[in-house]
Structure 1
Amino acid sequence: MTATLSILTAGYVGERTASTVSLLRDGEVLVVVDPGMVADRKLILGPLSEAGVAPEQVTDVVFSHHHPDHTLNAALFPAARFHDHWAIYQDDLWIDRPADGFQLSPSIRLAATPGHTAEDISTLADTSEGLVVLTHLWWGEQGPADDPYATDPDALHASREAILALSPTLIVPGHGPAFAPTGRTPR
């Protein structure tokens, strides 16, 4: 099987801020990535419904990191397992595990990609179009080249290089529309 991607809402940053919220499907596994701040929850729930998915059907939620603009709407998905850099959470269970290399499904896995925060992770999905990476290593297609909030700029640039070395066909950034990486993509 290969995963499919639906962008539920493309994020933005500026005077107002919203995270990019995405849905990955791989068989019975339904993953929402970064259900954070949006102007209205309908911007998540409407496209999810249009994709034929009820919030209760979402099996997994991934947080690229713990900033509220990427986590605020997690409670919309009551049956999901929640994934961050070091554990899986569901109901009253906390299961320690490192995220790096963790498989959510045959086509969806997590990767440690520190930089914006020391705990950042990216979600990698093998699709029929190639590798898709959902990540906060870039806010949008233009970067920024130097993340002004990066806790470790050297780690950020190393993580970007590592992701780009995987030759992704598409990057879904933390605060913007998906883009195909090029030689001009900030490293």
Structure 2
Amino acid sequence: MEFELLFPGSVLYVSGEIDAPTSSAVLLKDGERTIIVDPGGFPSLKALESALGKAGVAPEDVTDVLLTHFHLDHAFNTMFFKNATIRLHKNYATRNYKAFGPIIGQMYSMVIESWSRVEPFEAGMLWDTIEIVETPFHSREHVSFLVKTINAGNVLIFGDLCDRQFRFYEMRKGMRNDAASKLALELYDRADMIVFSHDLPIIKG
């Protein structure tokens, strides 16, 4: 797989219940497939369109979209890739999205209804290059990806298992000792580059 970070994610909170986080988006290519991991939410639409344009990728060229989990800050923009197969953990189908609220629930339904093809997965390998690791600490369908790439070594896409650098440093310094931290550190040891969903990446040197 050839790796490219389309844009890093961020976290923006305003007072009260107003927030606008958006995830890091990754582009992967292997000659047969053009893959986007976590294309992000509404606030990153301009960044997504700009980055894809610079990469020479049109929305209709995208063959697959991989999701670490189905939250709108990671998955809203899936609706713009009409030719893509959406791939996410099978547990996404067990959630009652209507319970998220009369407006937010409708938005989740709109996103799901926009998908032309869905291929749920479990832990294992995709195309012999992407290892799917079940990390259901953030949501029941949450996974992390460890990707073998030709230009960046082993790239770990944490999702929201470890969303920002400071959380990772807390784990490494022993400030957290839970199961999520243990798994995150084990995955880190296998990676050359770490993509955080809401922060800049780290390249191990």
TM-score bracket for this pair, using the shorter chain length: 0.7 to 0.9
> Which of 162, 166, 170 pairs up with 1:142?
166
**CA deviation profile, 1:2-32 (whole Å, cap 9, x unmatched):** x122111211113242211111111221111
Contact 1:35 1:70 (8 Å CA) reproduced: yes
**Percent of residue pairs bearing the same amino acid type:** 29
One-letter identity of the residue aligned with 1:107? T
- In structure 2, the residue matched to 1:155 is 179
Contact 1:115 1:159 (8 Å CA) reproduced: no
Contact 1:21 1:36 (8 Å CA) reproduced: yes
One-letter identity of the residue aligned with 2:36? V
- In structure 2, the residue matched to 1:150 is none
Larger Rg: 2
- In structure 2, the residue matched to 1:30 is 34
> Which of 9, 12, 30 pairs up with 2:10?
12
> CA RMSD, aligned part only?
2.5
1:107 to 2:105 alignment:
no
1:57-68 correspondence to structure 2 within 5 Å: 57-68=61-72
Q: Secondary structure at the match of 2:76?
A: coil
CA drift of 1:42 comes to: 2.0
**CA deviation profile, 1:17-65 (whole Å, cap 9, x unmatched):** 2211111111221111111225251210111121111111111111111
CA drift of 1:87 comes to: 7.5
> Which of 15, 25, 46 pairs up with 1:21?
25
Q: Secondary structure at the match of 2:146?
A: strand
CA drift of 1:154 comes to: 3.0
> Which of 116, 135, 140 pairs up with 1:118?
140
Distance in 1, Cα, partners of 2:21 & 2:119? 31
Distance in 1, Cα, partners of 2:192 & 2:62? 25
Q: Secondary structure at the match of 1:171?
A: strand
- In structure 2, the residue matched to 1:171 is 194
Distance in 2, Cα, partners of 1:95 & 1:28? 17
Contact 2:23 2:39 (8 Å CA) reproduced: yes
- In structure 2, the residue matched to 1:39 is 43
Going by fraction, where is helix more abundant, 1 or 2?
2
Q: Is the deviation greater in 116-125 or in 19-28?
A: 116-125
One-letter identity of the residue aligned with 2:10? Y
Distance in 2, Cα, partners of 1:142 & 1:133? 17
> Which of 77, 87, 102 pairs up with 1:83?
87
Distance in 1, Cα, partners of 2:81 & 2:75? 12
Q: Secondary structure at the match of 1:44?
A: helix
TM-score, normalising length: structure 1: 0.79
Report how many residues are paired: 170
Structure 2 vs 1, CA of residues 12 and 96 (structure 1 numbering), >3 Å: closer, same or farther? closer
TM-score, normalising length: structure 2: 0.73
Distance in 2, Cα, partners of 1:173 & 1:38? 19
